[in-house]
Chain A
Amino acid sequence: MQLRKEAVEVVVQICDRYKDEPSPLMLILSDVQKEYGYIPMEVQQIISAKTGIPVSEIYGVVTFYNFFSLEPKGKYVIGVCVGTACYVKGGQNVLDKFAELLKIKPGQTTEDGLFSIDNVRCLGACGIAPAVSINGKVYPKVELSKVGSIIQEYRTIEQKAMEA
């Protein structure tokens, strides 16, 4: 796959931001994830060429941290907490329910590009376990029966946007 010229520029620009840092990799990857949306092989190669860090090492960091992804993420990123407290309160079942209803596995994105699911480790909201966060908005004490309506909430937003 060949990257578009603009895409290359975005990545190069991010690398240049941290050219004076002693260990810039995490900073670069974090910005690329936020601004470019994901970190495919082609982007890793550019980062490698700019920083001199082997692609294998970059790939290692990308696959180590949940926050980084090799595939494009959906418009709405559903983070289901499976940290200790949420897990005990049924976080795994919530995660499975989202996966079942959206017909994707954690880490994947729906075909329409709307949703992706991540299993996250502790949102720091153990008091309201099991917690789910969608693009930063936190849903407390999520019951299995509510999962469908949460998804519907975003589908409705999209539908309205389409009509308007």
Chain B
Amino acid sequence: MANKVTIYIENKPYQVDEGLTILEAAKTVGFYIPSLCNWRNHDCSLASCRVCLVKVEGERRLIPSCAYNVREGLHISINDPDAVAARRTSVELLLSNHSMNCQACRKNGVCELLDVSRQVGARPDQYHGAKTPTTLDEVAPGIVRDTSKCILCGRCVEACKKTQGIGILGFQNRGFNTIVGPTENRSFNNVPCIQCGQCTLVCPTGALMEHNNIPELDEAKREGKIILAFAAPAVRASIGEEFGQKIGTNSTGKLAAAMRRVGFDKVFDMNFSADLTIMEEANEFVRRFSQHAPSPMITSCSPGWINYIELNYPELLPHVSTCKSPQQMFGAILKSYYAEKNGLDRSKIFVVSIIPCTAKKYECQRPEMQVDGVRDVDLALTTRELAQLIRRSGINWNRLPNEDFDRDIIGDNTGAGVIFGVTGGVMEAAVRTAYHILTGKEMEPVDFTPVRGLENVKEAVADIAGTKVRLAVTSGMVNAKKLLDEIKAGNVKYDFIEIMGCPGGCINGGGQPYVFPPMLPNEDPDIWETYREKRAAVLYEEDRNKPLRRSHQNPDIQKLYKDYLGIPGSPLAEKLLHTTYNTKREQYPDVTPETKPVTK
């Protein structure tokens, strides 16, 4: 326990932990001082926005409360008239260089800048004058950057550097011309960005957002395409948040109902193809493990992670499973097996995946992700975009019934598939099935808990009929880098590693609903520290309640192999469900007129 000190806010005493900043300490006793650059307590405080100014007795000037530690007997005034006016001026100055296109901005409604503007009472049009030249990058499939909305808070710079260890974004130029962007103001496509979208989760404005692909969906509708959609496991754990439900609410039933009402012709649960991935991946692992090469094998479900290894450790690509991700497998099966069995023209099928991920938008456009020239997945929409679709369709979320996803020769799913959405889930599901492959028996109990939890790197040993299999699970590229450096140095301590691009796995993906604590009055004050656990708990609960919890017991998967694919790893399975990687991907490909962001 930290030592307590007494501070005074408007002359009333409060006991707070020593070592906190005024901003943090005030939060623990029920005061929210408006701020825009601070976002993860100690982790990030550039003190760049100048919004959190307060009066501190004994100081000549107003103090940014995010960069000033509390001490015994400190007298603070948040409601001091000078501080109130200064905070308002800070925000008005930020707004004077902002594009103020709020009605057309997709961030409207979840925009922290607008929320803080309201809180401080910012007045319109206080300062007129020149604006900083702006850049609009819509080149990359995953993320859009619009500096006309940027307030230079630096959160994205810190997020990229600290949670992913990559540092794609940085401040550039000086003074009035300062902007935030990748080196040389390039597009995300022309730098080693993995398009994970973690930067979009912290941006307080609409400067960094997912690439909006809803217009392509409308186009497909106009063309009369058959629209087959499926939703990833992590979406059910978060979509309710978009409609005011508490974080940690399971929305599987409403999700299926909403997708149907949006007008998709069929709506499936991606757990089905997660099970399929496990069949292929567990078999691939057993094959590689018994042949001792090359060890360890690493999972391939996360497209952000695949981007990372291609761009930074191409020499380690032989370690990566050749399995496509569940998204791509589902698309490939819909356009082959499903189309043939239902007599559908595969060129008329338009496959839409609903995913918590911005990197999947990149993945589905990869040249490797097609079969006989037809793309597996035509469109990838994030959880946030689905919410936008639901809103514009006039659907009242609270009145939606609980419905089931479609089951039509495909669609059955197990608890093993649903936990794909959280770090450790793929590993646990794979262990359940690998155990069966190696022993012919079922693993009891079915839960394999050492790989659960949000620790940076989890290690475990699975005892499969006397054979010890060494496992490791990690998420976030800061952590992945440590494991990769070990493998590169020749220290092979594991047989099988699961790596997810985003910290915590897909539940915390770059396309998930924003978690801005000041805008979530009904959540606990520590929600920023706990939201990932709460979303993860939804998936583990759904797993626990499923009658079938092992991928190989999925009846539709068994039928798919019996009637169509043969066995895992068969030539047809290889063709549809496995892929190759780009060992020659350039970190900084030359910028061409087509890949240059628009500057004004």
Contact = CB atoms under 8 A, between A and B. Distances in A.
Contacts of B181: 56
A55 interface: yes
A14 B173 CA distance: 24
Interface in B583-598: 587-588
B184 A60 contact: no
Interface string A49-79: 0000111110110011000000000000000
Query: Which secondary structure characterizes the binding site on chain B?
Result: mixed
Nearest to A70: B184
Contacts of B168: 54, 56
Interface in B391-446: none
A142 B154 CA distance: 43
Contact of A54 (B161, B174, B184, B588): B161
- The interface size bin for chain B is 10 to 19
A45 interface: yes
A60 B171 contact: yes
Interface in B116-132: none
Contact of B174 (A44, A57, A59, A64): A64
A55 B174 contact: no
Contacts of B170: 54, 56-57, 59-60
Interface in B166-210: 166-174, 181-184, 191
A64 B173 contact: yes
A116 B169 CA distance: 30
Contact of A59 (B161, B172, B587): B172
A10 interface: no
A45 B184 CA distance: 12
A54 B158 CA distance: 12
A57 B162 CA distance: 13
Residue picked from A53, A56, A59, most chain B C-beta under 10 Å: A56
Contacts of A55: 167, 183, 191
A63 B588 contact: no
B133 to A, nearest CB: 13
A26 interface: no
B377 to A, nearest CB: 31
A41 interface: yes
A36 B508 CA distance: 44
A55 B168 CA distance: 8
Contacts, number: 41
B167 A63 contact: no
Contact of A63 (B161, B173, B182, B191): B173
Interface string A13-29: 00000000000000000
A44 B183 contact: yes
A60 B161 contact: no
Contacts of A54: 161, 166-168, 170
Interface residues of A, number: 12
A56 B173 contact: no
Contacts of B167: 53-57
Nearest to B157: A56
A59 B178 CA distance: 12
B545 to A, nearest CB: 44
A41 B167 CA distance: 15
Given A63-B173, A64-B173, A64-B174, A56 B588 contact: no
B549 to A, nearest CB: 43
Contacts of A53: 167
A47 B290 CA distance: 43
B174 A63 contact: yes
Contacts of B166: 54
Interface centre among A45, A54, A55, A64 (most CB of B within 10 A): A54
Nearest to A62: B172
Nearest to A53: B167
Contacts of A60: 170-172
A41 B587 CA distance: 12
A127 B134 CA distance: 40
A23 B153 CA distance: 23
Nearest to B181: A56
A98 to B, nearest CB: 22
A64 B172 CA distance: 7
A103 B161 CA distance: 41
Nearest to B182: A56
A134 B171 CA distance: 31
A54 B191 CA distance: 11
A41 B586 CA distance: 14
Q: Identify the interface centre among A45, A53, A57: most chain B CB within 10 Å of its CB.
A: A57
Given A41-B183, A41-B184, A56 B174 contact: no
Contacts of A59: 170, 172, 183-184
Nearest to A55: B183
Contacts of B172: 56, 59-60, 63-64
B3 to A, nearest CB: 30
Contacts of B191: 55-56
B175 to A, nearest CB: 9
Contacts of B588: 41, 45
A138 B174 CA distance: 27
A56 B167 CA distance: 7
A63 B178 CA distance: 9
A62 B170 CA distance: 12
A135 to B, nearest CB: 24
Contacts of B183: 41, 44, 55-56, 59
A149 to B, nearest CB: 33
A56 B184 CA distance: 8
A57 B181 CA distance: 10
A25 to B, nearest CB: 12
A47 to B, nearest CB: 12
Contacts of B173: 63-64
Contacts of B161: 54
A36 B184 CA distance: 20
Contacts of B169: 56
B185 to A, nearest CB: 9
Interface in A100-114: none
A44 to B, nearest CB: 7
Contacts of A63: 172-174
Interface string A28-51: 000000000000010011000000
14 contacts: A41-B184, A41-B588, A44-B183, A45-B587, A55-B167, A56-B168, A56-B169, A57-B170, A59-B170, A59-B172, A59-B183, A60-B172, A63-B174, A64-B173
Given A56-B181, A57-B167, A60-B171, 4 more contacts: A45-B588, A56-B182, A56-B191, A59-B170
Interface of A: 41, 44-45, 53-57, 59-60, 63-64
Nearest 10 Cβ contacts at the A-B interface = A54-B167, A56-B170, A60-B170, A59-B183, A60-B171, A63-B172, A55-B183, A57-B170, A64-B174, A56-B183
Interface of B: 157, 161, 166-174, 181-184, 191, 587-588
